[in-house]
Chains A and B, each alone.
Chain A
Amino acid sequence: MIINHPLLGPRDAAEFVYLGDASLIDRPDWQAEDAAEAFYEYGYLRDNPAGQHQELWYHEQGDRSWLVVTRDTLTHEISKVEMARDVARSRGRSK
């Protein structure tokens, strides 16, 4: 596979490390009342879609960027590649 890195252009997937579902960005609030339940879901439950999937890839053999790659699990077509930091900020993460 080839991942079109937003900063570095098309790079071979072998340069990257795969982590999994981009929902890992959405870490629950540790102080919420249901924090234990929320962390259980965060840690153990994943969707397994046949189709579009947002997932985290780490450019370990490159610039160490974490990326959010939107990939079709049926065709491996990659429709979008974003900097994970931008995605995290857009989902309201800060400090």
Chain B
Amino acid sequence: MSQTNRIKGGLIDRNQVMNFTFNGKAMQGHAGDTLASALLANGQRLVGRSFKYHRPRGIFTAGSEEPNALVQLRSGAYQEPNTRATVAELFDGLTATSQNHRGSLEFDLMAVTDLMAPFLSAGFYYKTFMWPRAFWEKLYEPMIRKSAGLGSLSMEEDPDSYDKGFVHCDLLVIGAGPSGLSAALAAGRAGARVVLADEDFTPGGRLNAETLEVDGTAGADWAAQAIAELAAMDNVRIMTRTTVYGAYDHGIYGALERCTDHLASSGGKPRQILWRIYSKRAVLAAGSTERPIAFGNNDRPGVMLAGAVRTYANRYGVTPGQQVAVFTNNDDGWRTAADLAANGVAINAIIDTRDAPAVCDVPGARHIRNAAVVDTVGRKGLKSVTLTDGQVIPVDCLAVSGGWSPNVHLTCHQRGRPTWREDICAFVPGADLPPGMAVAGAANGSMTLAAALTEGRAVANAQIKALGMTPSRKAAPKAEDEPRDCAPFWHVGESKNRAWLDLQNDVTVKDVKQSYREGFRSVEHLKRYTTLGMATDQGKTANIPALAIMAECTGKTLQDTGTTIFRPPYTPVPLGALGGRSRGKDFRPYRLTPSHKWASENGATFVEVGNWLRAQWYARPGEQGWRDSVDREVEMTRNSVGICDVTTLGKIDVQGKDAAEFLNKVYANGFAKLAVGKVRYGLMLREDGICYDDGTTARMGENHYVMTTTTANAVLVFRRMEFARQCLWPDLDVHLISTTDGWAQFAVAGPNARNLLRKVIDAGHDISNEAFPFMGCGEVTVCGGMPARLFRISFSGELAYEIAVPARYGNSMMQVLMEAGKEFDAVPYGTEALGVMRIEKGHAAGNELNGQTTAYNLGMGKMVSQTKECIGNVLSQRPEMLLEDAIKLVGFRPVDRSQKLIAGSHFITKGDEATMANDQGWMTSVAYSPSLGHSIGLGFIKSGDTRKGEVVRAVSPIHGTEIEVEIVSAHFIDPEGERLRA
């Protein structure tokens, strides 16, 4: 196919030929074309099938408001569905396909849906597929989704990257049409920091689409000169291909820049950038959008908006048809006739709903007054139109204008409501604009070019003054006021056939009337009942005519009928852009422990713990599975010595004269009397009395404490302690620093722990049991003078220490410890062995401190002091939390030792039925204990502390298992604590 509809002129570069395909058909266009203009140039009128009825559809507009021409671009993983052909910039090698049809575009098997249309009106699905209820999810919805719908995803990972950007300015100018350019010039000349954003790839707005003049120059040329002047200013940033899609709080705007969508390949650069624009002030110069008139079969390919038809002629050098008629209720429609006639295109008729004289002279065109189009002919492309008086006019393109609606969207993003202006038949921005925003030009209802240019400058100058700057004196650019009279006319009442309002959702005049009859009369109900104004175009062309028809039904004014609420985004924003770099592994970057390098070189398998990657176990050659490694690590630790990186635990440095008193308030147990050189276990409660976190705190000096928290709560505990310090007890002399990242810390556990450490800690530090007993702490030096901290604490239940060195020496410290441990057969152990040993010892961890349990449940009720002020102690004494049969933490072992316990099992008393009513508690943690040779568990069970020796059933309906278990002490290993005091 050749470019049969190409005419002279336009802002395209005819020297650059772009080859592309549509549904596999090879076509050619030029640089400066959109896919839509190139398709029209090639005579391709049919470009898609409609959402619901599978009606043949063509290109309707020339901009981002396009409801019809949604296509799929590119292929493979780069495939992108639902792209508006009207804004897709043509590039060499582009492949595009139509969507929403079975079989070919020309012979869509689903077009049969259209024959069923009388049954498929608004609310059809709601009413029809009610029964049987279960069928909706399994049968009806999947079936409907398959027959309706838009394009399809590639189901492959998006290979492109996306970025986020942040930019600050004095004045943001949204839209680079006449009013936006005028505003940007005024602000730029005054020296303000200006960001000028426009969704198009060629700034200029309607100036590029019209034959109007500015300052005696062709509009498009004037726009190019204005852009050149702005580009030369250091204080102005021009962002083309950038849609400002939302107006947010405090002058922040969201914008999407399409950086490489116009290129065959992104070449490794971000495809799109999501900008957050911080503005002191903003000028909205978003222009206006033309709307159609509803009449019978007004959805045929070839029926287009009048302004779009002349955009294709003036900007792209393309005529959408060879025999064109104009159907208008306003003066502006006449411009289309005049501009096409000037390009030699035959204008068969100008059908004006008004009984008014000709607006201008259009050679060869018949002016039919006081008339309207009632119907059209031509299923896959317009062939003729029929007028109210019955006469038939052969045409292949009908340019329709129902007037222009200011693009008020962003003025409403903070709940502002627009106001109806009868004189221009349009909603204009209301009084409640987002703070800092002013509106200029057509977006403000100033519809003529001269008015837009003048208002752009005036509004920018007012904003500049409000910022305390001096406006430039240069006058506004000059232009003529073109005729813009408009008489309201929404729908040709004589039409018998379906008259479309919302082309994207297949909503007709009949649907709106039905919605009215069935009581869905508010605009928000109308929208939800008929789907009017939903999907990618958000009803930019459809909403106002539909609201006008609802207003006719209800007898209300358009002002009283109102619009639905406009919300961001103005045009679709891809999820990829919203995600930006936060995807895959970058969604949440890992934190590596100080000994990560050593661990990865020594066979560690890693596990995510919060943000951290921790060694889970260290496999050795010959081991068959993780259990082999974990059992060995436990046994070797309990028999000799094991080493584990415990840096991830939160560390908070607490200093100050009142540090002890402060700790006394944030911990439930007493800290006032902790001696220097001693460590104590601490339990934190929430204010509601539920356990929050636990850890140890060491008193390093008179006014110096080092607290540890759980890994998961490190950040939250610190935040909460700052709250206590600043908001609850502001006069306590205490200061906090998070030192989690500052110190690498290693647990050295097992009967040989002291022997190993003696080889590493410098001579002169006495770490004998007498000098450095259980729960002791102190500063030492290692490896010949390096400062370190030593804590004699034990999570495993063994003789154990934790040794901390500055984080940068962490990896070396691990090497040194392992080297020194060789003679003891020291083993590194991971989080699994750590977990097994803490279950064997009966220590509570995250599974037990799960945000539902109290100190009383954990068997630590007596620790909660009632003789001091501390967070949570008052509400911990609520009677409901201290019931006698409350759940208590105990240990469990299978009666048949060969059975494996299952975490999450619920306990049922023997002889009772396994029902919720008979639930006695649940198993929180289980492990295979290499030390005991069988499975063990921790869990909560009612009155557990007084039921030791009783056999109950651990039931897991999910696994279909039931195991008899004996209630035992949670301390499976060394209940007297002899090992850790050794």
Contact = CB atoms under 8 A, between A and B. Distances in A.
Say whether A and B bind each other.
yes
Contact of A39 (B250, B251, B731, B874): B874
A83 B435 CA distance: 26
A50 interface: no
B687 A58 contact: no
Given A40-B875, A58-B719, A94-B731, A66 B688 contact: no
A39 B727 contact: no
Interface string B849-882: 0000000000000000000010001110110000
B250 to A, nearest CB: 4
A19 B250 contact: no
Interface string A79-95: 00001110111000111
B249 A24 contact: no
B818 to A, nearest CB: 37
B873 A36 contact: no
Contact of A95 (B251, B732, B878): B732
Contact of B727 (A24, A28, A64): A24
B414 A36 contact: no
Contacts of A25: 727-728
B762 interface: no
A65 B736 CA distance: 12
Contact of B687 (A42, A88, A93, A94): A42
Given A42-B687, A66-B723, A85 B250 contact: no
Contacts of A95: 658, 661, 729, 731-732
Nearest to B686: A43
A46 interface: no
A43 B732 CA distance: 23
A56 interface: yes
A58 B722 contact: yes
Nearest to A38: B874
A64 B878 contact: no
A79 to B, nearest CB: 12
Contact of A66 (B250, B687, B727, B729): B727
B6 to A, nearest CB: 50
Contacts of A48: none
Interface residues of A, number: 37
Contacts of A2: 249-252, 278
Nearest to A64: B722
Contacts of A19: 723
Interface in A1-39: 1-2, 12, 17, 19, 24-25, 27-28, 30-31, 35-36, 39
Contacts of B715: 60
B875 A36 contact: yes
Range of interface residues on B (Cβ < 8 Å): 20 to 34
Interface string A37-64: 0011011100000000000101010001
B730 A88 contact: yes
Contact of A60 (B435, B719, B731): B719
Nearest to B877: A36
B726 A84 contact: yes
B719 A89 contact: no
Interface string B244-285: 000011111000000000000000000000000010000000
A1 B726 contact: no
Contacts of A42: 687
Contacts of B723: 19, 24, 56, 58, 66
Contact of A30 (B248, B435, B722, B874): B874
Contact of A76 (B249, B729, B873, B874): B249
Contacts of B730: 85, 88-89, 93-94
A84 B724 CA distance: 11
B295 to A, nearest CB: 43
Contacts of B251: 2
B875 A43 contact: yes
Contacts of A27: 728
A60 B729 CA distance: 19
Contacts of B658: 95
A25 B561 CA distance: 47
Nearest to A28: B874
B952 to A, nearest CB: 35
A27 B723 CA distance: 12
A12 B251 CA distance: 11
Contacts of B687: 39, 42-43
Given A42-B687, A43-B875, A95-B658, A88 B719 contact: no
A1 B361 CA distance: 54
A35 B727 contact: no
Contacts of A84: 726-727
Interface string B723-760: 10011111110000000000000000000000000000
B869 A30 contact: yes
A88 B727 contact: yes
Contacts of B278: 2, 12
Interface string B875-919: 101100000000000000000000000000000000000000000
A56 B723 CA distance: 10
A42 B379 CA distance: 70
Contacts of B661: 95
A43 B688 contact: yes
A88 B875 contact: no
Interface string B607-623: 00000000000000000
Nearest to B166: A12
Contacts of A76: 249-250, 414
Given A58-B719, A66-B726, A75-B414, A30 B873 contact: yes
Contacts of A89: 730-731
Contacts of B435: 77
Contacts of A77: 435
Contact of B874 (A35, A58, A65, A88): A35
Contacts of B869: 30-31
Contacts of A35: 874
Nearest to B687: A43
Contacts of B727: 24-25, 56, 66, 84-85, 87-88, 93
Contacts of A31: 869
A30 B873 CA distance: 9
Given A30-B874, A36-B878, A94 B729 contact: yes
A74 to B, nearest CB: 8
B722 A88 contact: no
Contacts of B875: 36, 39-40, 43
A37 to B, nearest CB: 10
A47 to B, nearest CB: 18
Contacts of B874: 28, 30, 35-36, 39
A14 B727 CA distance: 22
Nearest to B722: A64
Nearest to B737: A64
Given A2-B252, A35-B874, A36-B877, A93 B722 contact: no
Nearest to A94: B731
Contacts of B726: 65-66, 83-85, 88
A9 to B, nearest CB: 13
A12 B435 CA distance: 17
Contacts of B252: 1-2
30 contacts: A1-B249, A1-B250, A1-B252, A2-B249, A2-B250, A2-B251, A12-B278, A19-B723, A24-B723, A25-B727, A25-B728, A27-B728, A30-B869, A35-B874, A39-B687, A40-B875, A43-B688, A56-B723, A60-B715, A60-B719, A66-B727, A76-B414, A88-B726, A88-B727, A88-B730, A89-B730, A93-B728, A94-B730, A95-B658, A95-B731
Interface of B: 248-252, 278, 414, 435, 658, 661, 687-688, 715, 719, 722-723, 726-732, 869, 873-875, 877-878
Given A85-B726, A85-B727, A95-B661, 4 more contacts: A64-B722, A84-B727, A93-B730, A93-B731
The 4 closest A-B pairs by CB, nearest first: A2-B250, A94-B731, A85-B730, A76-B249
